[in-house]
A and B are shown apart, each in its own frame.
Chain A
Amino acid sequence: MSEGADLFSAEQWAWYRDVELNSDSTDCTRGLLDEILNTLMTVGWENKLVFGVHLSMEEALVNAVKHGNKYNPAKKVHVRVGISSNLFRAEIADEGDGFDPNKLPDPTDPDYLDKPNGRGVMLMRNFMSKVEYNPKGNAVFMEKVR
């Protein structure tokens, strides 16, 4: 995701944040999430699209805090978010070892259906226009075009 900086600087955002979040609890993400949701609604995004962005950000941030940084208070989650009236972009990077998103089991496989975990990335891919991971697998880039 080396092109990430260009993706964020090239746009004229109505709202932009570049923040570091603590990792000791997923509650650390609430303030940023509320700001994002309020901004999307302020610039006119429809409720259905706001729901999808909310869900995708929730999944990505929980993955970063829980699975990436493993609630380690010494580690940070680095988040960049840009919002305009027709585009949402976010990059969420943790300080963990990363994972291979291509090796996740298919949660819709009948044999997997009653397994409790592994659906977050699938939901992100469905609700976002684009979801990409860096080669290490510890940073995700997401985009939603309105």
Chain B
Amino acid sequence: MADYQHIVLNEVADITVVHFLDSRIIEDLAIQQLGAELFSLVEVDGRKKLVLNFSTVNFMSSSALSKLINLHKKVVAAGGSMKLCNISPDIREIFTITNLNRLFDIRKEEADAIAAF
């Protein structure tokens, strides 16, 4: 398994649950590395069912949205799907304002997201 700097993976059957190690996902060098790690899950590992658990994330900017949108495209192109969960109310508002709550499948808890596949 690859050595990740920004994410931790848990596997539940054929579903990969991603936890973030950074509490802030913002525009800096780290976000490029985070993007590369997330994309590799699909492009290198061939994972097709992803759950992104945001329980540790208390701040993110539109730069993070860009990474998530690109990841979503890659997952869909590979014939898979991804779910988001455990999003704080403040960050949830970012998804609502931008209408990205319509693009992404957002669930309240990790168990809900896993059950939704």
Contact = CB atoms under 8 A, between A and B. Distances in A.
Interface of A: 25-27, 47-48, 51, 54-55, 58-59, 62, 66, 107-108, 113-117, 119-120, 122-123, 126
B27 A66 contact: yes
20 contacts: A25-B29, A26-B26, A48-B90, A51-B90, A55-B61, A58-B61, A62-B63, A107-B98, A113-B100, A114-B103, A115-B69, A116-B69, A116-B70, A119-B98, A120-B61, A122-B98, A123-B61, A123-B62, A123-B97, A123-B98
Nearest to B97: A126
Given A26-B28, A114-B73, A116-B66, 13 more contacts: A26-B26, A59-B61, A59-B62, A108-B98, A113-B102, A115-B69, A116-B70, A119-B98, A120-B62, A122-B97, A122-B98, A123-B97, A126-B97
A87 to B, nearest CB: 21
A75 B44 CA distance: 39
A55 B94 contact: yes
Nearest to B59: A54
Contacts of B61: 55, 58-59, 62, 120, 123
Q: B-side binding surface: helix, strand, loop or mixed? A: helix
Please give me the 8 A-B residue pairs with the lowest Cβ-Cβ distance, nearest first: A108-B99, A116-B66, A119-B62, A120-B62, A51-B90, A116-B69, A62-B27, A58-B61
A87 B29 CA distance: 32
Contacts of B69: 114-116
Interface of B: 26-29, 59, 61-63, 65-67, 69-70, 72-73, 90, 94, 97-100, 102-103
Nearest to B102: A113
A107 B62 CA distance: 11
Contacts of A48: 90
Contact of B27 (A26, A115, A123): A26
| Most chain A Cβ neighbours within 10 Å, of B27, B29, B65 | B27
A27 B99 contact: no
A126 B97 CA distance: 8
A144 to B, nearest CB: 15
Nearest to A125: B97
A61 to B, nearest CB: 9
B28 A113 contact: no
